[in-house]
Amino acid sequence: MSSAQPDTIDEDIEMKIQLLEALRKGQEPLWDDPGRGFTPDFLTSEEYLGLQKMSVIQDTPMSYYLDDSQYNLGLLKKALATLMFEMNEMEIEPDLDPIKLVSDLEGVLPELMRNVLRVDPNHFEALSVKLGVSPVVLSMVGGALIQPSMIFLASQCEQGLLDAWNHVNCPVCDRQTSVVLKSEGEVWRFKCQYCLAEYWMDIFTCPSCGSKGLDDKEFLLVGESQALEIVSCKACSSYYKIINNTKIETPISEGLEEIYTGQLDEIAQGRGLRRLDEAAPRSED
């Protein structure tokens, strides 16, 4: 093991938090809804009640079995308008016409939702050309619309499913993460930064290339308290970030782990390493 000292503060950290707060405010119509955007009929259906079982049997993330038909499209359109207002206030894209974009997106909302659920970046590229808006903005809007429902699913998820999962991508929303939580006497867990699910990982196996054993791993302890770590694989040069909850002095708010470990990315990428969520393959439909 070796140690490194991070930079004092990420200059963008305050702006990133403000953006997340703006998105959260724009999501308020969904947070105020008991089903977080799902229809009441879906939440009482056999389809919903069997969702976790199907995910286990098919070894497939839960989001794979979702589509626009299970959502309250009227509520999502309302949230779309509030999201665009908040994003316009943040001046994320100065030339953005929020009223026109809301109108344009309402017409393709079912399609947008299906591709957000499938985590399809190619869709945002194609839609970007069609609407004349950056794919980053479209991805942000689409992701924000679906996120409350994914967090709801993760909160309802049985621990057995999370413990039995054996993939890098999240068992709930299919997104990948590079953040791992480490607690005394417990298994290490991946922490999804989108739906907040915490699921089991194998410390002895590289999540990217599958190499076995600790001899192929390098542990880089960061900071005076050494509460943060970078674990890299010598075989494939991928890395993930560890938050050691037994050493951290001030707990990091849930969902902000990625932001507060940004300095670890700078250190790791300065050494020519690749983030796990950029290096590892995604599950296929």
In a domain, 8, yes or no: no
pLDDT tens-digit readout, 228-277: 999 999 999 999 999 998 888 888 888 899 988 988 999 999 999 999 98
pLDDT in tens, 116-133: 998 887 888 888 888 888
Angle, CA 240 vertex, CA 17 and CA 55 arms, to 5°: 85
Q: How confident is the model at residue 2 (pLDDT cuts 50, 70, 90)?
A: very low
Q: Look at residues 141, 149, 147, 127 and name the one whose alpha carbon lies nearest to residue 87.
A: 141
User: Within a domain: residue 1?
Assistant: no
Question: Which residues span the domain enclosing 269?
Answer: 160-279
Strand-pair category, 189-191 with 179-182: antiparallel
Same domain, 142 and 212: no
Residue 69 shares a structural domain with residue 131: yes
Q: How many domains does the chain have?
A: 2
Residues 52 and 103 in one domain: yes
Q: Are residues 148 and 275 in the same domain?
A: no
152 and 19 fall within a common domain = yes
Identify whether residues 141 and 95 lie together within a single domain.
Answer: yes
Residue pLDDT, tens place only, 35-76: 999 999 999 999 999 999 999 899 999 999 999 999 999 999
pLDDT at 142: 93
User: Taking residues 167-196, what's their average pLDDT?
Assistant: 91
pLDDT attached to residue 8: 42
Please report which confidence band the pLDDT of residue 6 belongs to, taking 50, 70 and 90 as the band edges: very low
Question: Burial level of 179, CB count in 10 A (0-12/13-18/19+)?
Answer: buried
Are 152 and 167 found together in one domain? no
Whether residues 51 and 112 share a domain: the answer is yes
**The domain spanning residue 204 has which CATH number?**
3.90.1670.10
Q: Do 127 and 46 share a structural domain?
A: yes
